[in-house]
Each structure stands twice: as structure tokens, then as C-alpha cells.
Structure 1
């Protein structure tokens, strides 16, 4: 799975790399976590880097609880929670590394590792996004209002549509040889030459393959990353002696 990741490249470098501009300012992040609003590029606004909440809530859900942070690439085109988003609402999730946890030596808990390119260059993870709108309760009309005889301005009060929640999930696939030592799933890193194809192709399932292991590195980091409250540069430093 993918439960935490990083993005600390300079804003100008990110905008040049992805040929898109931030809708607002960007702050480097070293421990991105579910429930946070994080940078993505959606298929309907490919020239803008916007923030969506990590944890996809299907449009048909009764409430916005329990957002789904990962979706299996093998079945994403057929699962009810993702099928429509796969067809119509894909996104690039911007990152420059992600964390995985492996059993520590001696069975003493789990050791976090960061997986990234040697030069920490940014990349895009395959994602889906969704727009969920809270259901408005039905209200019964009584008295003259039911026949149009009430205050003509009263119907305008409280008529604003409720705020929509735009959220995303990250696709995972079988791990490459590097990540297999850490976890049985890994986030789908898209080939840079085909990122835009993920946003536009009719059925881009062939893009959802494990990224080559020889282009990535994995190294142990501090267990401070276990808490989403921690978000600082020291989290991405290797603790190897």
C-alpha cells in the first residue's frame, strides 16, 4: 500500500516539470498523510496543480467518512467505488518519494523506509479523484408556502448548495524487486513520458505496471515518520550508519 509520501521539490521546479501552475502557494512536505489536502493534477484541469483531500469518497456515498486511500490497479476498472472515476476522473499525484514499513530486525516492531530516485526528482503516482456532494435533507412545506403564497424571498434563504468534497486515491500494484522486501504492494509510479496518457487514454491499464527497481533506492528513516504530526526535513534523512 501507500500510506505516506513526500514532496519537497521547489515550487518552480515542480511547475516546470509538470507543465502546470499551482492554484495557490506550495509548502514542502516531508510526511504527507491521509485526510490532508495535497497537490494533484486532474484530467479536467491539466494545467493546474490543485489540492484535493487524500482518501477518495465515492460520489454515491451516504457520508464523507472512511475515505479510501489506495485502489488496486488490477481491479480498479470494475470496482463500484472506482469504476466511474477510472473512466472519467483520473489524476497525477505529485511526489518525490514514499514510505513503506518492514519488519525490523529481531522482530522489534516495524522500520520505516523511504523509496525514491537517487536524485530525489519528482514523479507522478497514478490516482483517481472524485467529487462528493452532501445530500440535502428534504423539507416539507406547510401553510400558504405550499401553494406559493409565502414570502417570495424566503425560498432564497439557505438555498446555497453544500460544499463539495473533492478527494483522491492512489493506485497500487505488485511490488518490484526493491519494494517487495518491504511490502507486498507498491504505489504506481507512472513513466514520465506517458503521464499525460494516464489522464486522457480510454483504457490505460497497460500503464499500471511496477516501476523498474534499478532506478529507485530504499533506505531506512527515523520512526518519527510514524506520526503524521511530524513533518520536517529530518524525516527524509537516512539513519544508516
Structure 2
């Protein structure tokens, strides 16, 4: 799965990389967690980075709890929670790294996966708009604790598509975020059936390194989290 990621670049770098204006507030993020509002780029507004809450709530859901943070690439056109979004509401999720956890004899060790040069990339995403029957609180099931969406009006949420791991990530986890080829990112937004884009990104340009267990706490969001550490 992909349950935490990073987006540590500055606003102007994000806008230049994705050729999209950032709407609303933005700051570098070192420990992005589900339940938080984050920038995504949608097919209906490809020149804007808009904010949505991580944890997809299907439009037909009874309430806005238990948002889905990941969608398996192999079944996104079959599962009721994702089928319509795959057909009509795909999005790019900007990032520059994601975290995975490995079980060791001394406990669970987090690793950050990123490109060798830390360049930003786009993860494949799906998004939905949920209309409350009455005013309800925003999704808080994942305990992100910051940047919650307003409870006024429709709730817009997204999920990150996952695929089989490449050779690098396979040592850490049996799934990885679907990182899109840079020259085909817009195809994810516009093609009728772009499942061929969801293959594992080649491992030879990426690196994985251990980071502080402070990343386990979603309320901690500071530069030290992305620094490599020494482990025994």
C-alpha cells in the first residue's frame, strides 16, 4: 500500500513541474497522511493544483467515514468504489517520495523511496465528490489531525492507485504507488483506458533508505524526517 508520502518542494517548483497553478495555501510536506487535504491535478482542470482530502469516499456512500486511501490497479475498473472514478475522474497526485515499513527483529523500520535526484513525480490517482444529505464533519478516520476539509458543501476526496512493486520496493513491501512516466502523465487524465501506465516504475532510477521512526506519528511533519539514518 501507499499510506504516507512526501512533497517537500516549494510552491513555485510544484507549479513549474506540473504546469499548474496551486490553488489555496501550500507548504512543503514531509509526512503526508490520510485524512489531510493535499494538491491534486484533475482532468477537468489540468492547469490547476486543487486540494482534496486523501481517502476516497464513493459518491453513493451513506456517510463520509472510512475513506479508501488506495485502489489496486488490477481491479479499478471492476470495484464499485472505483469503477466510475476510473472512467471519469482520474487525477495526478504530486509527490517526491513515499514511505514503506519493514518488520525487523527490533521493530518496524520506515524507509523513504524516492528518485536518486529527489525530483518530483506524479502518482496515479482517482477522485470523487460526495454530497452530504446534511452538514457533516469531514473524514477523520485516519487520524491525520491537520488540514481537514471544510464540512460545508460537497466533500472532494482522492485515492492513490497501487501496483506490483519494482525490484527495489519488493524488498520493502508487496505493493507500491503507481508512479507515472513523466512524458505520459497527462495521458492518465485523458485516455479512455490507460491501464498500461500502471506498470511498476523501473527501479534503476530510484533509491530507498531508512529514516527516523518519528515518521510513524502523522502529527510530526519536519525536514528531519526525510534525512537518512544509520541502522544496525
Q: Normalized against structure 1, the TM-score is what?
A: 0.87
What is the distance in 2 between the residues matched to 1:77 and 1:47?
26
What is the distance in 1 between the residues matched to 2:44 and 2:126?
12
| Long gaps (5+) in structure 2 | 136-151
User: Residue 131 of structure 1 corresponds to which residue in structure 2?
Assistant: 129
2:229 to 212, 219, 239: 239
What is the distance in 2 between the residues matched to 1:206 and 1:101?
27
- SS of residue in 2 equivalent to 1:86: helix
Structure number with higher strand proportion: 2
User: Residue 185 of structure 1 corresponds to which residue in structure 2?
Assistant: 175
Aligned residues: 215
Residues 1-241 of structure 1: matches in 2 within 5 Å? 1-104=1-104, 107-136=105-134, 163-240=153-230
- Cα-to-partner distance string for 1:39-61 (whole Å, 9 max, x where unaligned): 10011111000110000000000
Tell me if the contact between 1:219 and 1:240 (Cα under 8 Å) persists in the aligned partners.
no
Aligned alpha-carbon RMSD (Å): 1.1
- Cα-to-partner distance string for 1:22-80 (whole Å, 9 max, x where unaligned): 01231000000000000100111110001100000000000000000000000001100
What is the distance in 2 between the residues matched to 1:120 and 1:38?
19
What is the distance in 2 between the residues matched to 1:100 and 1:24?
29
- SS of residue in 2 equivalent to 1:74: helix
Q: Normalized against structure 2, the TM-score is what?
A: 0.91
